[in-house]
Amino acid sequence: MSSMRAILITGGAGFIGSHLVRLFVKKYPKVQIINYDKLTYAGNLSNLADIAERSNYHFVKGDVCDYEKIISTMQQFGVDGIIHLAAESHVDRSIKEPFAFAKTNVIGTLTMLQAAKDFWGSSLENREEMAAKHRFYHISTDEVYGSLSLGGGLFKESSKYEPHSPYSASKASSDHFVRAFYTTYGLPVVITNCSNNYGPYQYPEKLIPVVINNIKENKPIPVYGKGENVRDWLYVEDHTKAIDLVFHKGAVGQTYNIGGGNEWRNIDIVKLIISVADRLLGRIEGASLGLISFVADRAGHDLRYGIDASKLTKELGWKAETSFEEGIEKTVKWYLNEKLSG
């Protein structure tokens, strides 16, 4: 897929999207990279200030539910490939606003799929030709699989779907539409389901930036329940490298799980961040432990996520490169610098 002329990345001003856009703009200077983003609360073009003037970078403000805008953008740039990242992703928000998640994550994905099918002229009859020229890459989440017991196995690509929140239900539905467009219309698709990401530029409603910012400001650090929920954490730049591999070399019609093999209880993550932040702020180590505040658990809170990424490793040679300790150190430093300079 290296001969592509233009790649459209939806949600490119968001957390993962901005890291991905930066990687592609720098790595593929002869390919036009179009950042298609609505610039909702979680999108910020300042995330990409360092590449804004690059000749192969283009920003288009647009909604993934706007079929005409998507088609006109694809026509303008001659888009060969799409990486669909744009999504509402915060579970707490989905519990309060499920219709917003259904609109963006389900209808938005369906709109992107229809536009790609129509613009590329995809059909079962020309499936092989489509696969040689185009790629529609849908980025999903491990949350579609539901919850694991403590110490009980890992999510595989073959794991059944059992979403427990409006967010994960909307992502599960969008995954099904992507597969349907592959089997019905021959659209050349790939899907990845990834574990929790962390790193610079994440909107400060997610766990790790909330903890760092509250330590800096000496505010209570909210921890759901007893902090025993387990997540598999992956540094965002390791994720974008996996996306690059899957987009260019992944087998059409396949799903790949992406995970860090790095499971941590929430309370242990909080304590690690406190240790790093206190040191960097010149405080006595552990001085911020008293900020931990256990709060009522989230409705339908999944106990554990764990990813088996062996398919991606065996087929494409990917593996996570950043240790959690190294990644947390980088992340804490970035947020503290942002807060201090802001």
Distance (Å, whole) CA 214 – CA 155 = 32
Residue with tokens 């849908």: 138
Q: Does residue 237 have an active-site annotation?
A: no
Tokens standing for residue 254: 């396949």
Q: Does residue 142 have an active-site annotation?
A: yes
Q: Does residue 198 have an active-site annotation?
A: no
Say which amino acid occupies 249. K
Question: DSSP letter at 261?
Answer: S
Distance (Å, whole) CA 205 – CA 17 = 17
Distance (Å, whole) CA 175 – CA 169 = 10
- How many CB atoms are closer than 10 A to CB 148? 21
Out of 80, 88, 143, 232, the active site residue is 143
DSSP-derived pairing of the beta strands 263-265 and 230-235: antiparallel
Distance (Å, whole) CA 201 – CA 207 = 13
Cα-atom radius of gyration of the chain, to the nearest Å? 20
Out of 57, 137, 145, 167, the active site residue is 167
- How many CB atoms are closer than 10 A to CB 13? 25
Q: Which residues contact 17 (CB under 8 A, 6 or more apart)?
A: 9, 10, 11, 35, 37, 43, 85, 86
Structural contact between residues 139 and 84, judged by C-beta atoms closer than 8 angstroms? yes
Out of 37, 80, 88, 142, the active site residue is 142
Q: Considering only CA atoms, which of 59, 188, 179, 169 is closest in space to residue 105?
A: 169
Distance (Å, whole) CA 35 – CA 21 = 7
Catalytic residues: 142-143, 167
